[in-house]
């Protein structure tokens, strides 16, 4: 049975967003949201009948054309022209799941009653969401400053029967979709096109989607590093709580505690060690993984604020009888946060690959490249190459996008965030991190076989046993591409 989530002024958390998307909840407007939308639209309609002065974006042109006054008879044409002219996206298509989040977040932002849209406009967006009608949106075209103009234009074009949508497993023209559904096109009123196009929902949807994946990958990074530690015959000492309480960064303390908990009961970690120290990639897991956790926590706070905000322009304040032009569409908070997240995730991949390198190096009674008869067999030599190449690409992708800006709209929009570019490349880093961690697990599970008959903890043994159902031990050379793909799929499917 489908559950309905009512859009209201209540704070939407990332956890709730995940449930709404993953459990396929339907959306509906709360009575509060309906009242807010209607009140704001009535105010704007009244204002347009009595107001003779130009109001930006309502009865003027856009960007550097802000000084061009538009007659009341042309306001619908103005908004439709805006939608069409700004649909200049190119590149890859945005993944369908992210488009669905974009719809949800645009509906949420419009529901506060500061945007001046018609109720039927918001309800049609809800129709798209509830019927899995996903507009075709493109990854390139947004500067992340006047909102995500090009992506949001493509997202909202189907309201007026333009653009394309993905429906019932195929891409079709929006006009065909409206005909099949028996829906009329929306006749846009004053300001509506601008309200739909201004906003940060492209950046926000990417960020939310990335953060939901990141929560799992961060825990997998810890878990896989524990398998590597066991395979490398590492020491438990660096995870002693006393060390971390004298430098109590939250993420560091959390990581050390988790590592101790999942290694509890291991005969392997507790056996006498000949070495007194481990390399940094093992010894500093709490410090490195923990720093990334703290970065992720910061980014989550930024995005929680953003997805519960009004980000179009101008903003309408009915009770104060004010229409104010500002810059809530500017993506700088998101751009900086996404760049920080990109660096934090790239570092999880960086240290993961270093552990993989240590495991294949023939140290601590492990055979070179983790295979019997090394020489005849190359074993795990080349998976490390693959991980290294991906890590290098992540370093390139982690170069901040937010340090760049470029002048647009004839100088009126003279500083932009580039947050959309930060968003798309951070998603690539997330996908790369999953591959790097999959390669580490592939190596770590192999290394663990050379420690038999000693056993790790029950938790680690169960985790590795589940992995072994998908990826068998390597006895002699075979095509490891297939094993890496199965390892990635295992991480995809694994739940804690």
Respond yes or no on whether the N-terminal peptide bond of residue 453 is cis (omega within 30° of 0). yes
The CA-atom distances, in angstroms, between 478 and each of 265, 377, 414 are 34, 9, 56
Report pLDDT digits (tens) over 341-363: 999 999 999 999 999 999 999 99
Report pLDDT digits (tens) over 261-305: 999 999 999 999 999 999 999 999 999 999 999 999 999 999 999
How high does pLDDT run on average in the chain?
Answer: 94
Per-residue pLDDT at 61:
62
The residue-averaged pLDDT of 16-33 equals 96
> Count of alpha carbons within 13 Å of 45, Cβ hemisphere only?
10
Same domain, 350 and 395: yes
Same domain, 441 and 306: yes
Per-residue pLDDT at 259:
98
Same domain, 165 and 211: no
Cβ neighbours of 151 (radius 10 Å): 34
Report pLDDT digits (tens) over 42-67: 999 998 888 777 776 677 766 656 56
Per-residue pLDDT at 74:
74
Respond yes or no on whether the N-terminal peptide bond of residue 314 is cis (omega within 30° of 0). yes
Per-residue pLDDT at 64:
56
Q: Provide the residue range defining the domain that includes 453.
A: 206-493
Better-predicted residue by pLDDT, 79 or 221: 221
Residues 6+ apart with CB under 8 A from 371: 377, 378, 379, 380, 446, 474, 476, 477
Per-residue pLDDT at 63:
60
105 neighbors 148 (Cβ within 8 angstroms): no
Per-residue pLDDT at 57:
65
Same domain, 308 and 194: no
Quick one: angle between helices 14-22 and 201-231, nearest 10? 90
Catalytic positions, written as ranges = 56
Q: What is the CATH number of the domain that holds 255?
A: 1.20.200.10
Per-residue pLDDT at 411:
72
Same domain, 299 and 341: yes
Per-residue pLDDT at 255:
98
Per-residue pLDDT at 458:
98
Rg for the chain (alpha carbons), in Å?
26
Same domain, 355 and 454: yes
The widest CA-to-CA distance across the chain, in whole angstroms, is 88
**In total, how many domains does the chain have?**
2
Same domain, 484 and 360: yes
The CA-atom distances, in angstroms, between 339 and each of 93, 102, 302, 400, 417 are 22, 20, 12, 5, 11
Report pLDDT digits (tens) over 78-106: 889 989 999 999 999 999 999 999 999 99
Per-residue pLDDT at 47:
87
Give the domain-ending residue among 141, 170, 199: 199
Give the domain-ending residue among 142, 174, 199: 199
Gap between the Cα atoms of 403 and 78, Å rounded: 34
Residues above pLDDT 70, as percent of the chain: 97
Give the domain-ending residue among 199, 215, 233: 199
Gap between the Cα atoms of 152 and 157, Å rounded: 8
Same domain, 324 and 383: yes
Gap between the Cα atoms of 291 and 382, Å rounded: 30
- Token representation of residue 195: 């309200």
Reduced 3-state DSSP string for the chain? CCCEEEECCCCCCHHHHHHHHHCCCEEEECHHHHHHHHHHHHHHHHHHHHCCCCCCCCCECCHHHCCCECCHHHHHHHHHHHHHHHCCCEEEECCHHHHHHHHHHHHHHHCCCCCCCCHHHHHHHHHHHHCCCEECCEEECCCCECECHHHHHHHHHHHHCCCEEEECCEEEEHHHHHHHHCCCCCCCCCCHHHHHHCCCHHHHHHHHHHHHHHHHHHHHHHHHHHHHHHHCCCCCHHHCHHHHHCCCCHHHHHHHHHHHHHHCCCCCCCCCCCCCCCCHHHHCHHHHHHHHHHHHHHHHHHHHHHCCCCCCCCEEECCCCEEECCCCCCCHHHHHHHHHHHHHHHHHHHHHHHHHHHHCCCCCCCCHHHCCCECCECCCHHHHHHHHHHHHHHHHHCCCCCCCCCCEHHHCECCCCCHHHHHHHHHHHHHHHHHHHHHHHHHHHHHHHCCCCCCCCHHHHHHHHHHHCCCCCCCCCCCHHHHHHHHHHHHHHCCC
Same domain, 313 and 195: no
Report pLDDT digits (tens) over 143-195: 988 889 999 999 999 999 999 999 999 999 999 999 999 999 999 998 999 99
Which of 136, 157, 162, 138 shows the shortest CA–CA distance to 89? 138
Query: With bands split at pLDDT 50, 70 and 90, how would you rate the model's confidence at 76?
Result: confident
Q: What is the CATH number of the domain that holds 14?
A: 1.10.275.10
Same domain, 180 and 276: no
Gap between the Cα atoms of 291 and 348, Å rounded: 10
Same domain, 233 and 174: no
Query: With bands split at pLDDT 50, 70 and 90, how would you rate the model's confidence at 68?
Result: low
Gap between the Cα atoms of 239 and 242, Å rounded: 9
Same domain, 356 and 482: yes
The residue-averaged pLDDT of 238-249 equals 98
Better-predicted residue by pLDDT, 53 or 421: 421
């Amino acid at each position: 049975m489908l559950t309905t989530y009512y859009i209201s002024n209540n704070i939407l958390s990332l956890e709730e967003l995940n449930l709404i998307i993953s459990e396929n909840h339907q959306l509906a407007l709360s009575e509060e949201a309906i009242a807010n939308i209607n009140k704001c639209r009535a105010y704007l309609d009244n204002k347009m009948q009595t107001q003779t002065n130009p109001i930006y974006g309502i009865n003027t042109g856009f960007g550097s054309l802000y000084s061009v006054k538009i007659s009341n008879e042309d306001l619908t044409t103005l908004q439709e022209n805006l939608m069409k002219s700004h649909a200049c996206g190119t590149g890859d298509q945005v993944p369908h799941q992210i488009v669905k989040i974009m719809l949800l977040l645009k509906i949420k932002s419009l529901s506060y009653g500061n945007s001046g849209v018609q109720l039927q406009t918001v309800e049609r967006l809800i129709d798209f969401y509830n019927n899995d009608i996903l507009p075709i949106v493109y990854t390139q075209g947004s500067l992340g400053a006047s909102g995500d103009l090009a992506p949001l234009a493509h997202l909202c074009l189907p309201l007026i029967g333009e653009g394309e949508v993905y429906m019932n497993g195929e891409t079709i023209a929006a006009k065909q979709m409206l005909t099949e559904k028996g829906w009329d096109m929306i006749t846009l009123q004053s300001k509506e096109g601008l309200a739909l196009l201004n906003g940060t929902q492209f950046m926000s949807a990417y960020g939310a989607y990335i953060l939901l994946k990141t929560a799992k990958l961060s825990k997998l990074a810890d878990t896989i590093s524990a398998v590597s530690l066991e395979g490398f015959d590492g020491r438990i000492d660096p995870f002693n709580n006393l060390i971390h309480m004298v430098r109590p960064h939250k993420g560091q303390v959390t990581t050390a505690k988790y590592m101790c908990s999942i290694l509890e009961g291991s005969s392997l970690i507790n056996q006498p060690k000949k070495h007194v120290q481990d390399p940094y990639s093992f010894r500093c897991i709490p410090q490195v993984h923990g720093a990334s956790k703290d970065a992720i926590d910061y980014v989550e706070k930024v995005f929680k604020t953003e997805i519960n905000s009004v980000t179009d322009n101008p903003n309408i304040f009915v009770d104060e009888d004010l229409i104010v032009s500002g810059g809530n569409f500017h993506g700088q908070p998101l751009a900086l946060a996404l760049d920080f997240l990109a660096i934090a995730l790239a570092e999880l991949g960086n240290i993961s690959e270093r552990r993989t390198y240590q495991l294949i190096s023939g140290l601590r009674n492990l055979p070179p490249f983790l295979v019997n008869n090394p020489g005849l067999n190359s074993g795990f030599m080349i998976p490390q190459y693959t991980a290294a190449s991906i890590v290098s690409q992540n370093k390139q992708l982690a170069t901040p996008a937010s340090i760049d800006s470029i002048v647009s709209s004839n100088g009126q929009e003279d500083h932009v965030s580039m947050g959309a570019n930060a968003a798309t490349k951070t998603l690539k880093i997330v996908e790369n991190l999953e591959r790097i961690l999959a390669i580490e697990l592939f190596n770590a599970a192999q290394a663990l076989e050379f420690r038999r008959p000693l056993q790790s903890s029950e938790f680690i043994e169960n985790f590795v046993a589940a992995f072994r159902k998908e990826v068998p031990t390597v006895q002699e050379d075979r095509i490891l591409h297939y094993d890496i793909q199965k390892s990635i799929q295992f991480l995809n499917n694994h739940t804690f």
